[in-house]
Structure 1
Amino acid sequence: MQLVVRLFSNVSTAIDNLMAHVSNNLPCDAEGLCMVCKQLPPEGEILTCQTCAAPWHVACLASPPESPHNVADWSCPDCTDLSVDGARPSAIASSGGLIEKIRAIESDASLTDAEKARRRQELLSGGGADQKTEEGGSWEILGDKFNCSICMQILDRPVTTPCGHNFCLKCFQKWIAQQRTNTCAICRKAIPAKMAKEPRINSAMVMAIRMAKLAEPSSTGGTQRAYHVIHNHDRPDKAFTTNRAKKAGKANACSGKIFVTVPLDHFGPITAENDPTRNRGVLVGDSWEDRMECRQWGAHFPHIAGICGQADHGAQSVALSGGYVDDEDHGDWFLYTGSGGRDLSGNKRTNSKQSFDQKFESFNEALRISCRQGYPVRVVRSHKEKRSSYAPEEGVRYDGIYRIEKCWRKTGAERFKLCRYLFVRCDNVPAPWTSDIHGDHPRSSVPVVEELTEATDITERQGNPAWDYNEHEGRWLWKKPPPESRKVRGELNGDGNGNGTKKRKRQHHNKSTKQRLLKEFSCLICRKVMALPVTTPCAHNFCKACLEGAFAGQSFVKERTCGGTRKLRAQKTVMQCPSCQNDISDFLQNPQVNREMKDMIESLQNEVNEESSKAEAAENGMSAGAENADRAMNEY
Structure 2
Amino acid sequence: GIHLPPVSGIGGQSNYGAQSVVLSGGYEDDEDHGDWFLYTGSGGRDLSGNKRTNKAQSFDQMFEKFNEALRVSCRKGYPVRVVRSHKEKRSSYAPEDKVLRYDGIYRIEKCWRKVGNQGFKVCRYLFVRCDNDPAPWTSDEQGDRPRPLPVIPELKQATDITERKESSSWDYDEEEACWKWKTPPPPSRKRVTRGNAEDERRAKRAIRKGHNMSVKEKVLKGFSCLLCQKVMTLPLTTPCAHNFCKPCLEGAFAGQTFVRERTCLSGRTLRSQKNVMKCPSCQNDISEFLQNPQVNRELMGVIEKLQQRNEGDEDTMEESCKEEVADMEESSKERGAAMEESSDASPESVENDMPYPQAESSPKRACKRKKVDAGTPIDQKSKRTKKREEIDAGDDETSKIDNDGMENGISGEKPNVGDDLHDAPVVKGRAGSVSNREKTQEAVDEGNDSPSSPLHVRSEEDDFQ
TM-score bracket for this pair, using the shorter chain length = 0.3 to 0.5
| Higher percent of residues as helix | 2
Query: What is the TM-score when the length of structure 1 is the normalising length?
Result: 0.33
Query: What is the TM-score when the length of structure 2 is the normalising length?
Result: 0.43
The structure whose RCO (Cα within 8 Å, separation 6+) is larger is: 1
Rg (Cα) greater in structure: 2
